[in-house]
Amino acid sequence: MSTLLRQLIEQAQAWSTLEIVAVALAIAYLVLAIRQSIWCWYCAGVSTAIYVWLFLDARLYMESVLNGFYFIMAIYGWTVWNAGRTPDHDRPVVRWPLRTHAIAIVTIVLLSFLNGYLLDRYTNAAFPYIDSLTTWSAIWATFLVARKVLENWWYWLVIDVASVFIYLARDLQLTSLLFVVYVIMIPFGIVSWTRSLREQNS
């Protein structure tokens, strides 16, 4: 048995029931988001609430705070998607101007540099700059999902590819594998939402 496979099995055996439920709901969230089902926000809400508790218990306080943000965004996402529904149609997919994304990207880079500098100087954080960049990008991308903006998928593609390597470098093979699954699923989201946008405009 290879070392990698052995490590994956050991990590899987170490997972608690709560972790398994949280991961399953996180995957369900992505599948339902691809299908534009409002139920994705219920899965996100429960999954992130579990992660808030798990990260607090593990003393990973920033991760806990981030998942607290995700929980709030799950409520916000459900509210926005529900408000945009009609008896016959879900909230429509939209695209935002390139200028909006350019401003967002510049802001994310600046915040990440500042955040990374502080983490690098005052903590023992691993990969402070990359970790900051993926965190701030994830905050923005989550807001785009809530507003049903097509471009969210491209942000997530970059974020999740980076996360695969970050978790591998930290010997979190099972978590890295989860993000590989996310990366594989994202193109389906791009295709599905693009098709919906074209149908709306036809």
Check residue 51 and give its pLDDT. Answer: 85
> How far is it, in rounded angstroms, from Cα 98 to Cα 105?
10
pLDDT score at 188:
96
CB 131 within 8 A of CB 95: no
| Spans in the chain with pLDDT lower than 70 | 1-2, 4-5, 7-15, 58-62, 87-88, 171-172
**Tell me, what's the pLDDT at 5?**
67
Q: What is the pLDDT of residue 103?
A: 98
Q: Report whether 51 contacts 62 (CB < 8 A).
A: no
C-alpha distance from residue 29 to each of 34, 123, 125, 194, 198 (Å) = 9, 33, 29, 19, 24
Whole-model pTM over 0.85: yes
